[in-house]
Chain A
Amino acid sequence: MGLRKLAKRVLGVQRQPTYYLPWLTRPHLQCALVLSNVESRFKVGYNRGSFPVSVVQYDADGAVAGRHEVTLPDAVEAVELPLPSAPGGCGFATVSGERINSDLYVTLSDGLAYTATHGRGEFIERYALPGRLLLAMIGGLLGLAGRAIPAFVRHQYAYVGPDSRSHLLVMNLSNVTNRVRVVASWEGRVLGARLLRLPPMGSTLLDIGTFGSASGGTATEVWRLRLEGAAWFNLYVVGAGARNLEGPLSLMHVK
């Protein structure tokens, strides 16, 4: 048995299959989901009738900000679901419905044009009480030193240019408080480190500008980000243009 499997067993972790999409609202941006079940039309026996869909919107603190019940009239009709703003201005929404696995979109619109990306079919990690207590204790101690339990590690490039940049929306896909350490570096030099404390099911918009600014050249710089967290987390890239977070934004899934 591998170390990861052993740790999962000791901590009592269950992985609950979940489809989720990020959401992000700003005063100048509307966020809406585009829900459909196009995939079902190719599944013989499952391509007729309407399809009920349940959406649960979690705010940045991980609290349920809203529940939405939607009915897709058939296998090809898409339904748009505007998401209201909620505390923190970002988070993720889970979508459940029989045989709904893909092709759901989240869109950000400034009223004139919209950007879009799709959600991900993954899982939420559910830790039993002893596991939650253990992670809270160890994570709290390491947090005092600005560290996190590196059970999950992701690498992501961030882009910082004279008139554009990429930020991150980091989502805690677990029911434990997840400390995620983010280290940014460029050309072998560490630019800075941040320790994010994400409540269960919570999220945060990580402004890349908090690690520093571009060196002032005309070329877009490519920074390395290393993220390590105690429990399962994922991220979406948030693209910005010349007006940075005050302008229109894009979201993009990553593997």
Chain B
Amino acid sequence: MLRNTTNFGFSQALVEAQRCLSCYQAPCTQACPAKVDVPGFIRRFREDNLRGASELIYESCPLGCTCGTSCPTSVLCEGACVLSQLGQTPIRIGSLQAFITASYPLEEQPSRQVSQSKVAIIGAGPAGIGCAVQLNRLGVQVEIFERDAQPGGMVTRVIPAHRLPAETMETDLMRLQNCGIHFHYNQKINTKKITHLLNEYDAVFAGVGLAGQNQPDNAGLYAIGVYSALDILEQARSAALKDGAPPKLGNRVLVVGGGNVALDAAIVAKRLGAEQVLVIYRRSKEEMPAWESEYLEAYSLGVEFRWLSVIDEIVIHQDQLMAVKIGQMRFVSASLGGRRWLEHDSEIPVYTLPCEALIFALGQTLEEGIQEVMGLQKNAPLLPVNEGSFQTPRPGLFAAGEAVSGGSTIVACMSAGMAAAREIAQFLQNQDPNGGRHG
């Protein structure tokens, strides 16, 4: 469910912290992609050592406030809490982490010993920031090149403002100001730039994320009223936090897809005042990749769901979206590859749903052409890396995050970036054991 941060001040946090059992080899920590020492920070907090608690969180999780606020905790740390087995609600770990980090946003310190090695990082999203912080801690000089005018990547662009307020990510980013990581904004990446970076720096890390979107194969995508979910989310967040008008979606909104982005879009549409929001998903609820917590949030807001449904046709009149025709799917008895196979159910007639907005959320992909820009082969949907070393086939070029793993969480991308940083540091060490620049 929506994390209730407004009623979670010091008093509530302390009472909650006192419930923690401090498990051995804590399941919450094991379920955390960043392996945050949850019992440790909770103990320090309840022992009145707020700074120490913040230290423990940021040590494992440089985006501590962001993750505490927006992690799908019910499928991660809180989902693993043993208190559930005693019939109790899990410790509100996310809320505690968000509260502690917001109360004591410990400044990231410059590395004590800085080597001559320099690494360029492409993308200031969770993976890039995770990699940068970890490299910086290991004494490597880091420069981040970000395409946008602000850091955060997908996090600061599209996560709905009600789920991740602006100040949350700011808390995590402000603390990086004086640690020695240099951010460069509005930096477009092209083939020449990559080659330049690889020549100028000892290694390059690509945290480019999934900036592209899967396109539907329907005709009529050009029509007024047909949108991509990421565009809607970006516009809505920008309107909520800065300026500009929120997207005008009308009263009847259809969202196509069943992932996190689809549900975010549905929730945002509902919160923007749409009377009816329908999620059209081609499989059943069981297969829906969105988290249960998001489904419950959407459901409680009144979002409706049409399972086993697909868009057969987009009905357009004078370039304006009028309606969609919905076809029904059914499961084929035999399944292939673990996922149940679907086919069109011709016994159920196609029906028409009038609507004023149609939002497609069919999943993200690598940005068109990014492989070529990176100098990598184009035959895979994701960036190819050696699993242990995070190195791409192009020597000195490393990658992690959603561009490598596919759709994921902030915390997992950040952690992957940190893991890649350790490998990069090892790579630099092997290149030049004395720590100087090679070449």
- Pairing of A with B: no
